[in-house]
Amino acid sequence: MSYVGPDFEPPRPPRRPLRGPLTVAVAALVPGALVGWLAWQTVGDSGGDESAAQTSSSSSSSGRSATLGSSDDGKEQPGGGTDRTGDGDEPGGSPSASAPAASGPLKGKVVVIDPGHNSGNFQHTSEINQKVNIGTNWKECDTTGTSTNDGYTEAKFTLDVARRMRAILEEEGATVKFTQDGDRAWGPCVDERAEIGNKAKADAVVSIHADGSGAGNRGFHVILPGPVHSGAADTRPIVASSRDLGEHVAGRFLRVTGSAPSNYIGDGTGLDVRTDLGGLNLSTVPKVFIECGNMRDSTDAAQLTSGAWRQKAAQGISEGIVSFLHG
């Protein structure tokens, strides 16, 4: 989650909906957002030129990583302990680790899904506050994650989307591994999350999150690793492939969910480059984070708490992975 407030990052106009007085107020700024949206349409079409097109449209975000505070490794406030349980939106697929399909387009491919945070982290603050080395510096082992104002936690959201993705990707023949499956008391720490993907020799890793920014900040963004070479961290070999993965994920996520790219991070591209996240810094395989929406915005929260929407989110991310792996 982040605390990128209006003081630092004036909200940009959402692609839609535009309603009421805002329509007039932001009309002059819409073309900028539209450029990003059109870029995603290109990516979603899986044409041969999407990399160049996207790089061009998103390059302005790459230099901003150091000042952006959207930190899933950063301090996050508890969800209030009122995690909603009765939404009746359990994933259609079983959470069990079923055997991969015998065949399918992703046969032989390994996908690691990293459900951000852990519902147990709220009860294990001393453990998750331990510092771990992420190459560039030391950071908290893990964080609690954010929640909606009604107490639906990010940890519950991420695990739900991850399980839906597993069902989809296994149907495609992929071998799917999780960093945690609601089967441990807390964590794992961010360094271990990275190590799980590395040891699996994953062809792609996606870390699932939802942001905790200010009301009015809306939309999704995909976080890409920037070049880091310090201590145990060396992302240089995965920067390009991770961007490719991230562009595919963002494009398909946009197409399937209909959500707009973030109006507060990434200049309308839905992409952000960061060098401060241990889960990315320590990865040796293509990896991205996705912030699916802003839990602290009521409009985004209405989507994030909907099982039907989470299914779309899972479908979009999964399609992006499939598209990347077929590249």
Contact residues for Zn ion, defined by CB under 5 A: 72, 116, 145, 209
* Per-residue b or e along 43-68, where b marks 16 or more CB atoms closer than 10 Å to that residue's CB: bbeeeeebbebbbebbeebbeebeeb
DSSP summary character for residue 60: G
Residues in Cβ contact with 133 at an 8 Å cutoff, skipping those fewer than 6 apart: 191, 231, 232
Give min distance, CB of 97 to Zn ion, in A: 23
**Nearest alpha-carbon partner for 285 in 230, 220, 240:** 240
Q: Is 88 left (phi over 0), alpha (psi -120 to 50) or beta?
A: left
**Nearest alpha-carbon partner for 291 in 95, 68, 83:** 68
Q: Which is nearer to Zn ion, 142 or 203 (CB)?
A: 142
Q: Which is nearer to Zn ion, 44 or 212 (CB)?
A: 212
Q: Given the structure tokens 């491919």, which residue do they identify?
A: 109
Token pair belonging to 86: 């009765």
Give min distance, CB of 2 to Zn ion, in A: 9
Q: How many CB atoms lie within 10 A of CB 87?
A: 13
**Is 154 considered catalytic here?**
no
Give min distance, CB of 116 to Zn ion, in A: 4
Token pair belonging to 194: 């990275």
Give min distance, CB of 145 to Zn ion, in A: 5
Q: Which is nearer to Zn ion, 65 or 323 (CB)?
A: 65
Q: Which is nearer to Zn ion, 13 or 145 (CB)?
A: 145
Q: Which is nearer to Zn ion, 209 or 296 (CB)?
A: 209
Residues in Cβ contact with 235 at an 8 Å cutoff, skipping those fewer than 6 apart: 225, 226, 227, 228, 229, 242, 275, 280, 281, 283
Q: Which of 140, 170, 172, 291 is catalytic?
A: 291
Give min distance, CB of 177 to Zn ion, in A: 20
Give min distance, CB of 38 to Zn ion, in A: 29
Q: Which is nearer to Zn ion, 145 or 214 (CB)?
A: 145
Q: How many CB atoms lie within 10 A of CB 86?
A: 5
- Which helix (H) or strand (E) element contains residue 28? none
Angle 180-185-189 from CA coordinates, rounded to 5°: 55
Positions annotated as catalytic residues are: 291
